[in-house]
Structure 1
């Protein structure tokens, strides 16, 4: 009896899994990519609040942080953490500017590794990441989201990121959640809130 219940439970869980996430058809993928690429081309600026959850296997609870993000075309990006600490990272002009609670530093981002990571982050924000040369991409859907799963092809990026998952609410062309899975299996999930597109963003926002 226990065996039968176990088998029944396994089947039911399998069916739930299938219902939650299904592979998109070729036609659905084409339509989805066309919509996202067309609409993200018009994004000049993007501002949003975010909540970030860092999951590590050895911790019983995810580490939660929050802040604001600003993007300005073509490649200005500011991640500003405000809780529970003050920390910001600005990407611009092939450099990364870090402000750790008043302690400032600069990293040259001209290397291929930083170029790819910067491109990946900017693409995660804008949703314009459908680059088959850089990623192996698979597409799924649920009742709430279209999901693009990207596996980096280059060894350099694979050292840091195993997979990126982008969540697009049905009917929308910009990302509402990003999941970055590390090679270790730990992951970071970022949820965007209060998003505004093409509002004015001053250059001073990207001065760290």
Structure 2
């Protein structure tokens, strides 16, 4: 919680040289073949007195493999491998066929954010900021469905490594979802079974 508060509380100012930052971010993305990181997630809602908290491990493998595994307080696994999507809640696989279009959009969004393609300007209108220790990218959705759901998405990168430190979704309804990443490791070998098996 302290980490999240600290990242968000830093005063931001507009980034003068966006081209240099975007180029560096793209180069870092090209060199990154895999990511493993612990994450904490906090969901803030007007319906909740206290934010909902969860934690787990995030896996990414180039070019289109994702695994979000929440371990606390409840077990939840989201696997995306190419066109295949699997979800498990509390040990039971969920039938995603009825909500496949929605789930696919979520997958596409996450891959766009993780692999750095958000800078293309096709899906989002980006604006760039910096604080003492971080770079911040504010993304305003161009896609109508995303725009109806999110006012904007904020990504926070550490200045020295350009690894994603925080990912925050600000919803139209006023709710927000903040994920903070720690112990991030890049270019480590990840077995393909991580993206096929629960």
TM-score by length of structure 2 reads: 0.87
> 102-111 or 164-173: which moved more?
102-111
Counterpart for residue 57 of structure 1: 46
- Partner SS state of residue 162, structure 1: strand
1:105-138 deviation per Cα after TM superposition (whole angstroms, max 9, x unaligned)? 2435874x65543232123334442121111111
Query: 1:82-161 maps to which residues of 2 (within 5 A)?
Result: 82-107=71-96, 111=101, 114-161=103-150
Q: Which of 163, 168, 171 in structure 1 is aligned with 2:152? A: 163
CA–CA distance in structure 2, aligned partners of residues 59 and 110 of structure 1? 28
Q: 1:114–1:86: structure 2 CA closer, same or farther, 3 Å change rule?
A: closer
> 146-155 or 123-132: which moved more?
123-132
Q: CA deviation at 1:59?
A: 1.9
Counterpart for residue 68 of structure 2: 79
Counterpart for residue 33 of structure 2: 44
Contact 1:136/1:150 (CA < 8 Å) preserved in 2?
yes
- Aligned: 1:24 with 2:15: yes
RMSD: 1.9
Q: CA deviation at 1:99?
A: 0.4
> 141-150 or 169-178: which moved more?
169-178
- Partner SS state of residue 22, structure 2: helix
CA–CA distance in structure 1, aligned partners of residues 93 and 148 of structure 2? 26
Contact 1:127/1:166 (CA < 8 Å) preserved in 2?
no
1:75-112 deviation per Cα after TM superposition (whole angstroms, max 9, x unaligned)? 1100000011111111123232110012202435874x
Contact 2:167/2:178 (CA < 8 Å) preserved in 1?
yes
Structure 2 gaps of 5+ residues are: 1-9
Counterpart for residue 11 of structure 1: none
- Partner SS state of residue 31, structure 2: coil
